[in-house]
Structure 1
């Protein structure tokens, strides 16, 4: 009996030693605002975490915390990663208005095309213009979503510029809210996670979000009118940051830094953008299957919206100039980079 107990204890000890040997050297906490089934969490962040684990031989473990599980508001995410409350975050730069003004060039009316092209363009723009703005982070990549769509409740379809008058629309950022106001709407700022309840309680009449996020926030059933524009340019986009705490990165040994570096940068921006585009196709298909009203404004009407958006761009350039930045150059570079990648 004693031999059996000793043998059992020895076996348990070997099991514990094996388990300890297999434990990760580094555990990184990734915090973000959307549910795990949303496009980027499911199609980009989880695969990224799995790839980092595999390429590090299991020495890096990334723990994913979706839907603000670690506390705070979506606008807190940049400070959580900057201050080391979490190791990694994926977030919307527009949740902190005015803090990253150079990024706003991509939010201006009719700058963006599809998400893949615009994301690569935004990464190149970051490399050229934004490293000072994002100096508090170890940037893994930046990206955008695809052409922005207007989604509205059944009684308020957007069929022309005139139909925007007084419509309460949730906006994603300062610039997008200014654009909505210039086009006649009443902008209401809130994080995307608040949209379903706000629609169901008639706090808002609609929202600006890309197709890809619509399934996770029930847009097809809550806002069955979907308005888009002729041509390859969308009305707006939003800019995203995928970043690591600088101390968390600097604490890694060189070989693990290389794993992170190999899973960062321009091609990661392309991959995130591609997943956004594929998500757009899925979200649009759900709305079509539901029999919703998909409205595409014709060339003449789209031209009217472009004209209405020009003062927003002019005011943004003027605001950048007042900050000591060259607004004209920033805007022209954003447009040129998007056009280059969209050919």
Structure 2
């Protein structure tokens, strides 16, 4: 090859490399499979690519980049640019957002879940907490109140929860522990096998997860109104990667969050509407807990666990009472429309 041809080839390659460099690709670490819980991330990827003409893409991986309990660690070292995780998987790494996992917090709808999460995520102490992991909170993954599926005879009284082995994490696990149950924090992807092998008797999940991870297929019954709380699962981005985006890319990402959440809420709402038909199809009995039993559960679990959380988090230097009060004020404001 003569030197002129060599120079031409090199120049062409340089243009190609420059073109490739102009495109931005982010790797996104999720787990399990595509489901209602991940629809906002899928929608976000679609919107970002659309707004940037394909110059900014999110490559979503379901378990191929990291284990779910290690996603925050992966974000901290820049192993990938975006990830979803649940606070209850590693409470010591993200203590501030565990306020959203306190049992019987009073959140009733997915819209309320979004409102309180957004308020907490915006608090400076929470942002500083996640910044220790080089993580920037992007959006929440709103879920309805958890309920349990179980095998054998239904358990509809608190006395029957004693020694019950339940898959439950975070504040929900603490709530069950308060009434004598034995919580275990196996991951969502391990829950079916734990139920099948008898490691647990019951599993606490939101509806989508009972479907996605197959626990509903082993269930004889489901509690319709236990509602002990839910878990908080943020989507975060690596701070360095976020700051390295161009202004246009950052605008495309930030401006897509609200629409992605709206899509998630619509999709999840459709799932909830068909839940009763799912139970009937699978022969799962719907169990209703009496008001007296629910009141007792609240008394035993809600106040003591909240008080202990505030004491423990305050000792760690967090404005715990302020964060709890922020949740309650946000709920009040949201309901009044202010």
User: Structure 1 residue 89 and structure 2 residue 83: aligned?
Assistant: yes
Q: Residue 139 of structure 1: CA displacement?
A: 2.3
TM-score between the two structures when normalised by the length of structure 1: 0.84
User: Structure 1 residue 317 and structure 2 residue 315: aligned?
Assistant: no
Q: Residue 191 of structure 1: CA displacement?
A: 0.7
Q: After superposition, what is the alpha-carbon deviation per residue over 1:60-91, rounded to whole angstroms, capped at 9, x for unaligned?
A: 1211111x1124x2110011122110111112
Structure 2 Cα separation of the partners of residues 279 and 340 of structure 1: 28
Equivalent residue number for residue 34 of structure 1: 32
Q: Residue 52 of structure 1: CA displacement?
A: 0.6
Q: 5+ unaligned residues in a row in structure 2: which ranges? A: 1-14
Q: Residue 213 of structure 1: CA displacement?
A: 1.5
SS in 1 for 2:128: coil
Q: After superposition, what is the alpha-carbon deviation per residue over 1:67-118, rounded to whole angstroms, capped at 9, x for unaligned?
A: x1124x2110011122110111112122112222221222112113222211
CA RMSD of aligned residues (A): 2.5
Equivalent residue number for residue 226 of structure 1: 222
Q: After superposition, what is the alpha-carbon deviation per residue over 1:280-308, rounded to whole angstroms, capped at 9, x for unaligned?
A: 44445312332311112232221111111
Distance 1:285 1:78, change over 3 A: farther
Count of matched residue positions in the alignment of Structure 1 and Structure 2: 317
Q: After superposition, what is the alpha-carbon deviation per residue over 1:251-296, rounded to whole angstroms, capped at 9, x for unaligned?
A: 22211111112123x6655554554444344445312332311112
Structure 1 Cα separation of the partners of residues 300 and 186 of structure 2: 24
Q: Residue 162 of structure 1: CA displacement?
A: 1.0
Structure 1 Cα separation of the partners of residues 310 and 276 of structure 2: 34
Q: Residue 35 of structure 1: CA displacement?
A: 0.8
CA contact (8 A) 1:183 1:308 kept: yes
Q: 5+ unaligned residues in a row in structure 1: which ranges? A: 1-16
Equivalent residue number for residue 143 of structure 2: 145
- Taking the TM superposition and a 5 Å limit, the aligned residue runs for 1:1-343 are 25-36=23-34, 38-41=35-38, 43-66=39-62, 68-71=63-66, 73-111=67-105, 112-128=107-123, 129-135=125-131, 136-153=134-151, 155-173=152-170, 175-229=171-225, 234-264=227-257, 268-269=260-261, 271-309=263-301, 310-342=303-335
Deviates more, 1:138-147 or 1:51-60: 138-147
CA contact (8 A) 2:37 2:141 kept: no
SS in 1 for 2:129: coil
CA contact (8 A) 1:141 1:242 kept: yes
Q: Residue 55 of structure 1: CA displacement?
A: 0.5
Structure 2 Cα separation of the partners of residues 156 and 317 of structure 1: 37
CA contact (8 A) 1:220 1:286 kept: no
Structure 2 Cα separation of the partners of residues 285 and 335 of structure 1: 34
